[in-house]
Chain A
Amino acid sequence: MASMAVSRSPKKRSAIQRFFSDQTKWTPYLFVAPFFITFAIFTLYPMLRAVVMGFQESLGYTGKWEWVGLANFVEALTNDPRMGTSLKNFVYFTVGSLATQLPCAFLIALLLTSRSLKAKSLWRTLFFIPSVLPGVTMGIIGGWFFSKTHGFANALIVAFGGPRVDWAGFAEYIIPRLLLIAFWQWMGNHAVFLIAGMSGIGDEIIEASIVDGATPWQRARYIVLPLLKPVFAYISITAAAGSLMNFEVPYVLLGTDGGARGKGWFFMTHIQQMAFGQFRMGYATAIGWLVFFIAVVITILQLRVYEFRLGKQEEAS
């Protein structure tokens, strides 16, 4: 590159030479280069290719493509029951996760920040630990827990005199099973975030409420809860984004056929199965775009909620 510049003009040469002779000038670009190079090759280029691939269909696994126009998108939006199932499951799973996990996380956070509690970090660790487990392990644990013959759930039901339930056999059990697994994995994680948010509430506010004679319950309900709104918002949006990408637990728990009566599809398991089970890469790419736009909407919501926080951070740095 430098030699090309030499032949062109002496003025330019000196500029480039000056640039490369002063190490402090070019090293910063060298330091940030790996990210931008790998991003260009492994993310940006595939995304540009995806623009075309959404309008194509792959001919099996051959690597050849055929132009199909809007057919993929039309099929995904009007003629694919799995898409409807995925959307329904995404909403059901997200709302269900938040409705079950957040109230419990809040109560656990209150309990674990109680001034009289001993060994706080031990209890916090025990509730937090499931969230570091791999998705595959969570799926296997869920499969054991809901096993018909030797699972924990049925053993418990039988111990109380009930009949064994065929958890895997019925579509209506799919989301409840996933919700219970998600509850176990994420509730403690949310509680830890709420505890972090609580530590940001000034002592003077709490003291003032004590002076005013607020009971601990009133304090939790009317002071702590409203002040934690941003943390709740953060958790909710992260959870929505996470459940949009839900793959590992449903894949391991439900297998490759979408669970009982095919009612267990999520967007990512559907994409994976279309692309690598049925080798419909073009169609899977089109679905990928639709999910991409849902994710963008969630991200925009996230930015709205966090605008003021990002602003603060820039000031600080």
Chain B
Amino acid sequence: MATPALSIQNPLSRPKIGLFRLRAIVTTVIAAILALVFVWPFLCLVGATFNQIDAVLNPLIPIPAKFSLQFYQLMFNEKYHFQDYILNSVVVSVSATALSALACALSGYALAKLRFPGRDLLFSLIIGVMLLPTATMLVPQFVVMRELKLVNNYWGLILPGVGGGAFGIFLMRQFMLNIPTEMLEAARMDGANEFELFSRIVLPNAKAGIGVIATLSLRGNWNALLWPQLIITDPAKQLLMPQIALHNNLMVEVWAIHVVRTASLVAAMVPLALYAYSQRHFISTLAGAIKG
């Protein structure tokens, strides 16, 4: 498609090596140029965060006029102390993720591998919940949290997720279906109880699946803005994303906007690292989910 002039001839007749190599070079160069254009503005923003406060910068070039870590230092000074919010976000999202991944594994395993009356009904209910647009129920959910005294409390962020979430359970069940039933039967024969079975056989065999669920859940918890912004009202307890959004509106000093940009890039490091860590899983899981 990129080289219509070359592709007129019958592609089944083996292309001469030179021609094939030329096509490879042309398509690869086109892909490289497009990708570079695509990420260029992002690189420019990254470059701008490494600029010195008073140095005039050309926004079209990703190299700082005068290299400096000032904005990264300002982020952690007494005016912004973003390290506190990073820590808060780590505490909340790691605990929420650990609990929800465990719940997903437990229920995914039960729905995939255990036989019990009502199983199919419960699974259908979970599918139904997955399709329910519950995000619109934000306000009543908040009102209930307030009545349960969970506002301004990290449990208000963690507890709603400890059940694992319908989508996570659905994905986990798909992973659990791959565990051989004979293996479970054999362990039962050897006298393992159901809890030993889960912790010794199921968990080690479902590591990949749990990794994917945990990655998605950690990303979701870390990136969340709306819910933590509502639940946490004490500034000292606030999480990173709401705090960045808050500073974006506050602008406590002239260069605050640069500090906010720097902080938003630092905040993006977590999902980027998660993506780098589980890249293959990510794309194949998402693609698998739609291919069904």
Given A50-B140, A53-B140, A248-B225: A152 touches B41 (CB 8 Å cut-off): yes
A241 to B110 alpha-carbon distance, docked (Å)? 30
Residue in B42, B129, B226 whose beta carbon sits within 8 Å of that of A247 in the complex: B226
Q: Is the Cβ of A220 less than 8 Å from the Cβ of B1?
A: yes
Residues of chain A lying within 8 A (CB to CB) of residue B60:
152, 155-156, 159
Stretch of A6-14, A34-42, A170-178 at the chain-chain interface: A34-42
Report the nearest A residue to B118, measured CB to CB.
Answer: A29
Residue in A27, A155, A231 whose beta carbon sits within 8 Å of that of B194 in the complex: A27
Residues of chain B lying within 8 A (CB to CB) of residue A197:
290-291
Q: Is the Cβ of B133 less than 8 Å from the Cβ of A111?
A: no
Residues of chain B lying within 8 A (CB to CB) of residue A25:
116
A46 to B161 alpha-carbon distance, docked (Å)? 15
Residues of chain A lying within 8 A (CB to CB) of residue B286:
192-193, 196
Q: Is the Cβ of A130 less than 8 Å from the Cβ of B42?
A: yes
Residue in B107, B223, B290 whose beta carbon sits within 8 Å of that of A134 in the complex: B223
Report the nearest A residue to B123, measured CB to CB.
Answer: A32
Residue in B45, B106, B249, B272 whose beta carbon sits within 8 Å of that of A34 in the complex: B106
- The digit string for B82-123, where 1 denotes a CB below 8 A from any CB of A, is 000000000000000000000100110111001010010010
A124 to B226 alpha-carbon distance, docked (Å)? 31
Residue in B148, B230, B292 whose beta carbon sits within 8 Å of that of A312 in the complex: B292
Q: Is the Cβ of A111 less than 8 Å from the Cβ of B2?
A: yes
Q: Is the Cβ of A216 less than 8 Å from the Cβ of B264?
A: no
Q: Is the Cβ of B27 less than 8 Å from the Cβ of A111?
A: yes
- The digit string for B214-242, where 1 denotes a CB below 8 A from any CB of A, is 00000100110110001000000000010
Q: Is the Cβ of A28 less than 8 Å from the Cβ of B163?
A: no
Q: Is the Cβ of A46 less than 8 Å from the Cβ of B137?
A: yes
Q: Within 8 Å of chain B (Cβ to Cβ): is A179? A: no
Residues of chain B lying within 8 A (CB to CB) of residue A159:
60
Residue with the highest number of chain B CB atoms closer than 10 Å, among A32, A127, A215, A310? A32
Residues of chain B lying within 8 A (CB to CB) of residue A132:
219, 271-272, 274-275, 282
Chain A interface bracket (under 10, 10 to 19, 20 to 34, 35 or more): 35 or more
Q: Within 8 Å of chain B (Cβ to Cβ): is A108? A: yes
- The digit string for A118-149, where 1 denotes a CB below 8 A from any CB of B, is 11001111111110111111011101110000
Q: Is the Cβ of A245 less than 8 Å from the Cβ of B135?
A: yes
Q: Within 8 Å of chain A (Cβ to Cβ): is B210? A: no
Q: Within 8 Å of chain B (Cβ to Cβ): is A23? A: yes
Residue in A114, A124, A130, A309 whose beta carbon sits within 8 Å of that of B1 in the complex: A114
Report the nearest A residue to B22, measured CB to CB.
Answer: A116
Q: Is the Cβ of B10 less than 8 Å from the Cβ of A114?
A: no
- The digit string for A238-275, where 1 denotes a CB below 8 A from any CB of B, is 00010011011001100110000000000010011001
Residues of chain B lying within 8 A (CB to CB) of residue A73:
none
Q: Within 8 Å of chain A (Cβ to Cβ): is B138? A: yes
Residue in B23, B111, B160, B222 whose beta carbon sits within 8 Å of that of A38 in the complex: B160
Q: Within 8 Å of chain A (Cβ to Cβ): is B44? A: yes
A124 to B292 alpha-carbon distance, docked (Å)? 22
Residues of B46-96 contacting chain A, CB below 8 A: 48, 57-60
Residues of chain B lying within 8 A (CB to CB) of residue A136:
223, 225, 241, 244-245, 264, 267
Residue in A35, A45, A111, A271 whose beta carbon sits within 8 Å of that of B166 in the complex: A35
Going nearest first, the 6 A-B pairs with the smallest beta carbon separation are: A295-B133, A38-B163, A196-B287, A35-B163, A31-B110, A50-B140
B interface residues, Cβ below 8 angstroms from A: 1-2, 4, 7-8, 10-12, 20, 23-24, 27-28, 30-32, 34-35, 38-39, 41-42, 44-45, 48, 57-60, 103, 106-107, 109-111, 114, 116, 119, 122, 125-126, 129, 131-148, 159-166, 169, 174, 177, 188, 193-195, 198, 219, 222-223, 225-226, 230, 241, 244-245, 248-249, 257, 260-261, 264-265, 267-268, 271-272, 274-275, 279, 282-283, 286-287, 290-292
Beyond the given pairs A117-B24, A132-B275, A234-B290, 12 more chain A to chain B contacts, judged by CB atoms under 8 angstroms and listed by A's residue number, are A34-B162, A42-B160, A50-B137, A111-B1, A134-B225, A134-B271, A210-B12, A216-B4, A217-B1, A252-B225, A276-B230, A306-B292
7 cross-chain CB contacts under 8 A? A28-B119, A125-B279, A139-B245, A145-B41, A245-B133, A248-B225, A275-B138
